[in-house]
Amino acid sequence: MIWRYVIQRLLIAAVQLLALAVLVFFIIRLMPADPVARLVGFNASPEAYAQSQQALGLDRPLLLQFSDFLGLTAGQPGGGLLQGSLGESWESNEPVADELIRSLPVTLELVSLSLLVSLLLAIPIGMYAAARPGGAVDKGAYVWGMFAGSQPDYWWGLLFILVFAFTLGVAPAPLGRHDPLLLPPDPVTGLILVDSVLRGRWDVLVSAFGYLALPVITMVFTVSGAIIKMIRQNTVRALSSDYVMFARACGLPQRTVALYALRTALTPTLTLVAVFFSVLLSAAVTVERVFSLNGVGQYSVRAILNFDYPAIQGAVLAVAFVSLMVYLLVDILHAVLDPRSRSH
C-alpha cells in the first residue's frame, strides 16, 4: 500500500522535474542575453564569435539544441538529460553534475543544520506560547516573528561577522567551511561534519562546527520566528479540538492531555519542515555569499552572472530535485503517521 504510494509519487516527481527542465531550457534561451559575447569578450572578431558560437552549439536551431539537451540526438558524446548527463559548464568545461556533487553537500549541511536548530528552539517555545496564549512568551514570540521574519539575512550575517568574528573574536572569520590551514578530509559524502568523523579528523570536525556557527545562527535568526508562529498555531488548534476537551472532561492529568495534543500538533509540523527546507534553500543563496561557502547557491549565482546555461539548468534542477525529495520524504512520513492523507 505504502509502496504503491511512494512509486506513484516518485513518478510524479520525475515528470515534474522533466517539465521544469524543459521550462528552464526555453525560458533562459528566450531571454535577450548573449552568452557568446560574454564568453569571447565584446571586442572579439566576428570569426572568433562565430567559432565560439559553434563550439557551444548555439548556432544550431533551437529545437536541435533542445534534442541535444535531452539526449535525443543520435551519436552525441556524453548523452543528455535522459542519459543522466547535465552537460558541461561553458565556463569551466567540467561536467555540471560533478560540480553540483561538490557544491550541493555544502548547502544541504547548512540548511539541514539550520532547520534542526530552528526546530529545537521553536517546538518548545511555540508549544509554551500556545499553552499560555497572551502570556509573556507568546507576546515575545509574536514580536520576534514580526521582526526577525522580515529581515535581510545577508545584512544580519555581516553584522554577526562584525560582532562575533572581528570585534569579540569568538567566531572564525568567514573563510569557508573550516580552518584554511587544515587539510580537508577526503570526501566520502561531501558533508564536512560527516566526512571528518568518518576519516577520524577531529580537528577538522571542531573547526567545521566553529565555521558553521555564524551561518547557522544567521539562518535560524530569520526563519525561527515563522516556525514558532506556526507551531503555536498547530498546538492551539490541537488544544481546542474535541478529543482534548473530552480528555480534560474525563479528568486526565494536564500532562497526559498535553502529550495527546503534542502528537496531533506535530503531524502538521512535519509538513512545515518541507516548506521551510525550501525557504532555507532560497536563503542559502545570499547567506553562502556572506560566509564564502561554495554551495549550490553560490554556484547558481556564478552560473547566472556568467550566462553559463548548462550550469544554470543543472543548478535549478538540483535545487528543485532536493525540494521535491524532501517533500516526498515528509509526505511518506505523513502517510505512515496519518493514513487519511494517503487517499488524496
Judged by the rule CB under 8 A, the positions of this chain that interact with other proteins are: 9, 16, 19-20, 23, 27-28, 31-33, 129, 133-135, 138-139, 142-143, 146-147, 149-152, 154-156, 158-159, 161-162, 166, 229-230, 232-234, 236, 268, 271-272, 274-275, 278, 281-283, 285-286, 289-290, 300-301, 304-305, 307, 312, 315-316, 319-320, 323-324, 327, 330-331, 334, 338, 341, 344
Q: In the bound complex, what is the minimum distance in angstroms from residue 260's beta carbon to other proteins?
A: 20
Q: Based on CB atoms, which residue is closest to other proteins, 136 or 250? A: 136
Closest CA to 115 of 296, 315, 281, 295: 281
In the complex, least distance from residue 74 CB atom to other proteins, rounded to whole angstroms = 31
Residue from 257, 279, 269 nearest 233 by CA: 269
3-state class of 187 per DSSP? coil
The C-alpha cell that represents 205 in the structure block = 570536525
Q: Of 93 and 167, which has the nearer Cβ to other proteins? A: 167
List the beta bridge partners of residue 88.
95
Closer Cβ to other proteins, 92 or 323, answer by number: 323
CB environment 103-115: b (16+ within 10 A), e (fewer): bbbbbbbbbebbb
| Residue 197 or 330 having the CB closest to other proteins | 330
Provide the residue count of the chain.
344
Of 83 and 150, nearer to other proteins (C-beta) is 150
Query: Whole-number minimum distance, CB 57 to other proteins, in Å?
Result: 18
Residue 281 C-beta: closest distance to other proteins, Å: 6
Calpha distance 283→219 (Å, rounded): 8
* Residue 43 contacts residue 343 (beta carbons within 8 Å): no
To other proteins, the closest distance from the beta carbon of 102 in angstroms equals: 19
What's the maximum distance between 2 C-alpha atoms anywhere in the chain? 87
What sign does the dihedral 302-306-307-309 (CA atoms) show? negative
Direct distance between the N- and C-terminal alpha carbons of the chain, in angstroms, rounded to an integer: 13
- What's the closest the beta carbon of residue 337 comes to other proteins, in angstroms? 11
Nearer to other proteins, 192 or 285 (CB): 285
Per DSSP, 343 falls in state G
